[in-house]
Amino acid sequence: MQFMKRIFLFMLTNILVMLTIGLVFFVLQRFFPQLRVAGTQQLMVLALVWGFGGAMISLLLSKTLAKWGQGVRVIDPATATGDERWLVQTVHRLASQAGITGMPEVGVWESPEINAFCTGPSKNNSLVAVSTGIFRHMTKEELEGVLGHEISHAANGDMVTMTLIQGVVNSFVIFLSWIIANLLLRRNSDDRGGFGDMMMRHMVVSVLQMVLSFLAYVAIIAPFSRYREFRADAGGARLAGRGKMIAGLQALQDSFRLPQPAPEPSRAAMMISPGKKSNWMSTHPSIEERIAALKALPLA
């Protein structure tokens, strides 16, 4: 039932995006008649296909890409012992508390880095992974708070939500970049252009896509990513306890004094904490802001 609901929301989002793009472009045409060019409808469809297609492929392959890119070794619950057995049992217990029916895969990757992440196409098909360094620098109580945070990401459907937002952004960026390029390079109707004109148009489109993508990241994606971190912290506090969640964040803050490799930018948004500072481009709030929000959170 939940899966069908997400499929319905995905289809509804696509329809709303198409209607929104069409409405915005219709209004613009009323004020700028020069926008009435052939192929606009085809461009809208192409923007939606490319914009959402890439985002959906990334979502469906997220677990596989994380395993390959991060070198995650998935733990077999049947043979796990010691800390790894505790890790699997804790993740599955927190997942059950969060109402997740399909237990997440649990894995570790070899690194002195002190971090963890959750990814996957749905809450019932997810992967929770931690670095080996996190075992050496956190108590089990602190790590339980971190795991509660990651399980909350899955329970909140953050992976799907971020994919939908990225798909909307991609669609608008592709569509608007071509429209703006056509305005900037508009020629007389009797001028068919040539290879040079085509290359110039593609260069302008590429530059516009980079600029618009950056603006969308700063204005939409990064702020929402920071919001979802606050929400996952609150969820982790409800699952593992506010004290354990705060202790886990404080342990992460203390770890910044230790030398550790920075996570790659492509995977930084998945991690519980990619850095100690926050600014308008950060995917995560600062640890201080997150701890303050948890202390102010009314919890039973």
| pTM for the whole structure | 0.78
Buried b (16+ CB within 10 A) or exposed e, 106-115: bbbbebebbb
Which segment, 188-202, 227-241, 271-285, is predicted with the most confidence on average? Answer: 227-241
Catalytically active residues are: 150
Q: How confident is the model at residue 276 (pLDDT cuts 50, 70, 90)?
A: low
Q: Report the 10 Å Cβ neighbour count for 273.
A: 24
Q: How far is CA 107 from CA 37, 189, 235, 247, in A?
A: 52, 60, 21, 22
Burial class (CB in 10 A: 0-12, 13-18, 19+), 117: buried
pLDDT tens figures, 188-213: 444 455 556 667 877 888 889 889 98
Cα separation, 260 vs 230, in Å, equals: 24
Tell me which of 16 and 56 has the higher pLDDT.
Answer: 56
Least confident of 57-61, 112-116, 266-270: 266-270
Structural domain spans, the chain: 28-60+141-300
- Burial class (CB within 10 angstroms; exposed 0-12, middle 13-18, buried 19+) of 39: exposed
Percent of the chain with pLDDT over 90: 41
Tens-digit pLDDT profile for residues 83-136: 999 999 999 999 999 999 999 999 999 988 888 999 999 999 999 999 999 998
**Sequence-separated contacts (24+) of 55-61 with Cβ below 8 Å:** 55/163, 55/164, 55/166, 55/167, 55/170, 56/163, 56/167, 58/163, 58/166, 59/121, 59/159, 59/160, 59/163, 60/121
Check residue 266 and give its pLDDT.
46
Q: What is the pLDDT of the chain when averaged over all its residues?
A: 81
